[in-house]
Amino acid sequence: MPTVRPQVVAHRGASHELAEHTLAAYLKALDSGADGLECDVRLTADGHLVCVHDRDLRRTAATKGLVSTMDLAELSELDFAAWKNPWADLDDEAPDEDEGLRGVLTLRKLLETVADYDRRVEVAIETKHPTRYSGLVEKRLVEMLRDFGWDQAGAPVRVMSFSFTALQRVERLAPEVRLVQLVDRPNYWPMLRRVIGRDWVVGPGIKMLREHPRVGESIARSGRDVHVWTVNKEKDLDRCLGLGVKAVISDRPRLMLDLLEQRFGPAE
């Protein structure tokens, strides 16, 4: 019987059901009981941090534009939800949806939503690299965390990246912010385990843990907290439970919560 009940973190919101990184997806995740929210951030041409995964907008907003070359005002004119359900306009019985739930989501708006929520919700923020703005992304991110008073130990936020250099920047700017080193290739782990900070979390992908179970066991034995992405199936959750992971990042937070309730009973 597993002994550690992991935190359930909604990957880009409840993104299995609703368009990723939209406010609608995050509100759905909160309503479902998710313990945390995960987002990717990129910097616009006029210096705003927005929650967008891809560098270009072809997949999520049907345009060839790049996030880094567009102003926030330009991004605000785009629909970031239509791609998820392209036939929605043909449904005469569908309720009218607030356009504010479909557009580009700024990190500030997401953090304000979390800060105002009626229970503690944690936010895992991934900075995307490479990017034309390099370290400016982390600088702007830390400035925003300071605005919320979330650059201190115990704050409901952590910063993640595949870039070791990016996490070092955050550590210099805000030494108390929790950091997560993401890992997607097994041959990276022997090197990373020697250089990442003593208190850093390790964030392996579930695909790597499936294909290279010994690497997963090595990570678990390292004594570090482990947060795994993207966990959407029962057997993958059980693999994580066997390794004692502290957080599972999922497109399907409600499913993960239901499965954990079966194993641990109702959350306190």
Q: State the pTM of this model.
A: 0.94
Structure tokens at 257: 């919560």
Nearest Cα to Cα of residue 46 among 87, 12, 74: 74
What residues pair up with 73 in beta bridges, in sequence order? none
Please give the pLDDT value at position 83: 84
d(C-alpha 61, C-alpha 180), whole Å: 29
Residue type, 264: F
Strand 122-127, strand 36-43: pairing: parallel
Please give the pLDDT value at position 101: 84
Segment 64-109, tens digit of pLDDT = 999 999 999 999 999 999 988 754 554 555 455 566 688 999 999 9
Active site residues: 11, 53
Please give the pLDDT value at position 112: 98
SS3 category, 2: coil
Regions of the chain with pLDDT less than 70: 1, 86-100
Please give the pLDDT value at position 90: 43
